[in-house]
Amino acid sequence: MNQSPELLRRLLRAKDRMDGACHEAWPVARLARVSAVSPAHFARSFKAAFGMPPHRYLLSRRIERAVALMRDTELSVTEIALCTGWRSLGTFGRIFRDITGDSPGNVRARERSAAQARDRLPECIARAVHRPDLNSAVSEKRRRTAVATVDST
pLDDT tens string 19-71: 999 999 999 999 999 999 999 999 999 999 999 999 999 999 999 999 999 98
C-alpha separations of 100 from 22, 54, 59, 86 in Å: 18, 19, 12, 16
Whether residues 63 and 22 fall in one domain: no
Whether residues 106 and 67 fall in one domain: yes
Whether residues 122 and 67 fall in one domain: yes
Structurally, the chain folds into a number of domains equal to 2
Domain with residue 145: its CATH number is 1.10.10
Whether residues 77 and 42 fall in one domain: no
Whether residues 94 and 115 fall in one domain: yes
Task: Quickly count: other Cβ atoms within 10 Å of residue 10's Cβ.
Answer: 20
Whether residues 25 and 86 fall in one domain: no
Whether residues 78 and 147 fall in one domain: yes
Q: Which domain holds residue 66?
A: 57-152
Question: Does pLDDT of 1 surpass 60?
Answer: no
Whether residues 102 and 147 fall in one domain: yes
Share of the chain above pLDDT 90, in %: 67
Q: How far apart (Å, rounded) are the C-alpha atoms in residues 117 and 134? A: 27
With cut-offs at 50, 70 and 90, classify the pLDDT of residue 131.
Answer: confident
Question: Does pLDDT of 134 surpass 70?
Answer: no
Whether residues 82 and 144 fall in one domain: yes
C-alpha separations of 68 from 1, 47, 95, 148 in Å: 34, 26, 16, 31
Whether residues 89 and 134 fall in one domain: yes
Whether residues 129 and 68 fall in one domain: yes
